[in-house]
């Protein structure tokens, strides 16, 4: 079903994981998709595999975001869908956290996401859709993830403010908050295989559905929120965690 025909979709961090899966589904449903990412080779490969446009842009760099918006304005004019997905997750106890650790996470996850929305607002088409990738850690407590959790909690707050600000233009703004999803970000958190295995086993044991989720399941919710079928949904957070928050 090509219900996204003639729609322009931009996905930050679209070269892997949930961003890649969302790009794939939106493309299959007829959208013209543009993915971004920091790693040139990864972006080019993903774009080629998906049959979409890839632009190298670091979400933590506001100048890069300005250039991205200028490039897309020149090539497409306006954007219908903006999925602000790029993010990183590293851990540190508060006592040992460095300024670099704090800045690395906040510059991408919060500051970068905030200014990506800010810079794209002028070229968002009236009636369009914005989706933030948040996380259940925004509302849960976990040792050594204070900065990451704070970055996602901040995003949820901005999402609600943006939903109010953009409502006069019928632009809807929502967030998806995954729980235990098997994606590359788990392997980039600086944990060894044994620790990762222990964490996965623990999450699966705790989860009512007794499994990890996958990127495609999150992407399906993102796609739904960008569809006209979700036309009366804005300012909402969608939890995708297999029931983990229930226990």
Query: Is 20 a known active-site residue?
Result: no
Query: For residues 39 and 68, what is the distance between their CA atoms, to the nearest angstrom?
Result: 15
The rounded distance, in Å, linking the Cα atoms of 97 and 180 is: 24
Catalytic residue among 96, 114, 148, 187: 148
Spell out the alpha helix ranges (H) of the chain: 17-28, 40-50, 62-76, 99-106, 113-120, 146-166, 193-206, 215-226
Strand order across the 172-178 sheet: 53-56, 32-37, 8-11, 79-84, 124-133, 172-178, 237-240
Question: Which token pair is 170?
Answer: 């019928």
Residue 192 exposed, middle or buried by CB count within 10 Å (0-12, 13-18, 19+): exposed
Quick check: 11 and 21 in contact, CB under 8 A?
no
The residues assigned a catalytic role are 148
């Amino acid at each position: 079903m090509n219900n996204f025909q003639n729609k322009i979709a931009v996905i930050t961090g679209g070269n892997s994981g949930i961003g890649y899966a969302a790009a794939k589904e939106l493309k299959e449903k007829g959208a013209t998709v543009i993915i971004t990412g920091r790693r040139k080779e990864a972006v080019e490969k993903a774009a080629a595999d998906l049959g979409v446009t890839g632009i190298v842009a670091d979400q933590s760099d506001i100048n890069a975001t300005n250039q991205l918006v200028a490039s897309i304005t020149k090539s497409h004019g306006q954007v219908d869908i903006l999925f602000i997905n790029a993010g990183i997750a590293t851990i540190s106890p508060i006592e040992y956290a460095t300024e670099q650790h704090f800045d690395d996470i906040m510059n991408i996850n919060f500051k970068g996401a905030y200014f990506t929305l800010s810079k794209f607002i002028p070229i968002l088409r009236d009636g369009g859709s914005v989706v933030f990738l948040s996380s259940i850690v925004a509302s849960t407590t976990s040792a050594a993830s204070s900065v990451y959790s704070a970055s996602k909690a901040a995003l949820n707050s901005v999402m609600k403010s943006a939903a109010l600000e953009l409502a006069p233009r019928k632009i809807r703004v929502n967030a998806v908050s995954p729980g235990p999803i098997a994606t590359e970000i788990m392997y980039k958190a600086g944990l060894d295989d044994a620790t990762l295995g222990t964490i996965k086993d623990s999450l699966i044991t705790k989860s009512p559905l007794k499994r990890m989720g996958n990127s495609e399941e999150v992407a399906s919710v993102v796609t739904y929120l960008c569809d006209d079928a979700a036309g009366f949904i804005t300012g909402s957070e969608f939890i995708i965690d297999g029931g983990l928050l229930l226990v």
